[in-house]
Copies of this chain bind each other. A is one copy, B any other.
Amino acid sequence: MKLHGYFRSSASYRVRIALNLKGLSAEHLSHHLRRGEQHAPGYLAINPQGLVPTLEGDGGSVLTQSLAIIEWLDETHPAPPLLPKEPLRRALVRAFAQVVACDIHPVQNLKVLARLRELGLAEDKVTEWAAWANREGLMACEKLIASEAGPFCFGDTPTLADLCLVPQLANARRFGVDVAAFPRLLKAESAAKALKAFAEAAPERQADAE
């Protein structure tokens, strides 16, 4: 398999964790987002959004969108499972993941922040925007798992929720959010980061890290 990504892309980071948890290896192809390499015609031919990640399967399949890729990995390589078996629990995990993947991440990604700059927004206001999106979303995440014993977001093994949480907390810190306001999220993060699969997927551990 080939994973098209970028060390700092939090959506790529989610997929790297999933691959590691499943014990799968992939060739990592880096597209430097700040240099606009994701808009090269060759890449757009496989991912018309010009976003990372994209996973190319060995049989020529091309998958986009990190959550769809992770659910595919989970369906085709079921151990260890990244979603609970029970439908209601699956829905809770997916909802948590979607708060991150729908309501936080796309509102603070490179593309949207670039657009804000084009509209004339000063750099401190751009950072404030990104911090706002992270703060609001993570506050909801904190409440969604407040009564979950853990130590992971949902139970004693990592799920899709943890795969989304850990990269997003890294972004939140980068934008200056005071993450101490989210003790339950930090507990899950700490459990996750103790695992090799998470540690080795970290941005700073990637070959394209700057």
Contacts and interface: CB of A to CB of B under 8 A. Distances in A.
B103 A91 contact: no
Interface of A is mostly: helix
A197 interface: no
A122 to B, nearest CB: 10
A90 interface: yes
Give the number of times this chain occurs in the complex, counting copies. 2
Given A51-B103, A106-B103, A94 B65 contact: yes
B49 A103 contact: yes
A71 B48 contact: no
B119 A91 contact: no
A88 B107 contact: no
Nearest to A132: B115
Interface in A139-165: 139-140, 143-144
20 contacts: A48-B139, A48-B140, A49-B99, A63-B88, A63-B91, A65-B98, A67-B102, A68-B92, A68-B98, A69-B91, A71-B91, A72-B87, A72-B88, A72-B94, A75-B90, A101-B102, A102-B102, A107-B107, A115-B129, A115-B132
